[in-house]
Amino acid sequence: MRVLPILALALGLAACGSSPPPKRPDPRPPGPIAAATCDDACTQYAVCYEQVYSKDYSGGGECVTSCEEMAEADKSQYIAEWTDSGADCAKLMGE
């Protein structure tokens, strides 16, 4: 008769540890998604340049400066093209 209580205890312990703990909600309030910037676009330009031409890109500062000096519509288009997750580096680099 001792086997039955031990078996019940073993099954009870196994059942307690088998379910994952409940997921806690993130305590941080949802915030706006940061908009892409000239820095982001120029970083992606550098990544593509190095991928397409197999050499280091060293014009990051000039890229950011020229991007920031663009008219707002042109700047927005430039940033959108270079930060698009499906962008084709060879196509963007004109290759």
Residue 15 has pLDDT above 80, yes or no: no
Residue 11 within any structural domain of the chain:
no
Residue 31 has pLDDT above 80, yes or no: no
Cα separations (Å) of 49 from 35, 61, 65?
23, 15, 18
What would the mean pLDDT of 11-19 be, rounded to a whole number? 54
Residue 22 within any structural domain of the chain:
no
Number of compact structural domains in the chain: 1
pLDDT of residue 93: 86
Residue 16 within any structural domain of the chain:
no
Comparing 4 with 27, the larger pLDDT belongs to 27
- Residue span of the structural domain in which 74 resides: 33-85
Residue 10 within any structural domain of the chain:
no
pTM of the predicted model as reported, rounded to 2 decimal places: 0.63
Least confident of 5-9, 39-43, 79-83: 5-9
Residue 68 within any structural domain of the chain:
yes
Residue 79 within any structural domain of the chain:
yes
Structure-block tokens of residue 14: 């196994």
